[in-house]
Amino acid sequence: MYVGVSVDGFIARPDGEVDFLDSTESGDFGFADFLASVDALVMGRNTYDMVIGSGVNWPYGDKPVVVLTHRDLEIPPHLTDAVEVSSLDSAELLEALAARGIEHAYVDGGQTIQSFMRAGLVDHLTVTQVPVLIGAGIRLFGELDTDVRLHHGETITFGNGFVQTHYNVVSK
């Protein structure tokens, strides 16, 4: 997973807005390199709707994207070759992706990240803290059944105050 979060642990405001993640500093904070290192993306429906509705160009190129949802979803014609819909649970989905030769999946979206964490299916976390407290919103991590031990890989501080930390999961 690769995610931005407020210092108080929120990935979005209560209404799903992520305006606090914006920065005046240019650069992608390593996102392009991270995206190049994965074979596919798995995101929740709310995250997909936010990306589609943001007005920016599709940021994932032709990288395969699986949107997890139980609701009907119409994919825009220009994305039908890259985006597919699934209602499988996290373990079933990763098994299906592995059968297609996909080894490294990027998991995005609050509920999706939480379900993959609870299932022990996250190996690496890149968390970028934005120097802001927003007080309420959607938490990055929900309740877990057991501790998830992490090994610190690297921490990078950017000129705008963003702090990016890389962790590997030790136990799931």
Structural tokens at position 69: 């949802």
Average pLDDT on 88-110 reads 93
For residue 50, what is the enclosing H or E element?
helix 45-53
Query: CA-to-CA distance for 141 and 167, rounded, in angstroms?
Result: 15
Q: What does the domain layout of the chain look like in residue ranges?
A: 2-169
pLDDT classification of 53: cutoffs 50, 70, 90:
confident
Residues 113, 122: contact at Cβ < 8 Å? yes
Query: CA-to-CA distance for 87 and 89, rounded, in angstroms?
Result: 7
pLDDT at 24 over 80: no
Average pLDDT on 82-91 reads 94
Listed in sequence order, the residues at least 6 apart from 57 whose beta carbon sits closer than 8 Å to its beta carbon are none
Structural tokens at position 93: 């989905």
CATH of domain 2-169: 3.40.430.10
> How many residues appear in the chain?
172
Average pLDDT on 73-101 reads 93
The whole-number pLDDT of residue 169 equals: 95
Query: CA-to-CA distance for 109 and 107, rounded, in angstroms?
Result: 7
Question: What percent of the chain has pLDDT above 70?
Answer: 96
pLDDT classification of 25: cutoffs 50, 70, 90:
low
Average pLDDT on 141-145 reads 83
pLDDT at 167 over 60: yes
Structural tokens at position 125: 């976390």
pTM: 0.88
Burial class for 45, CB neighbours closer than 10 Å (0-12, 13-18, 19+)? middle
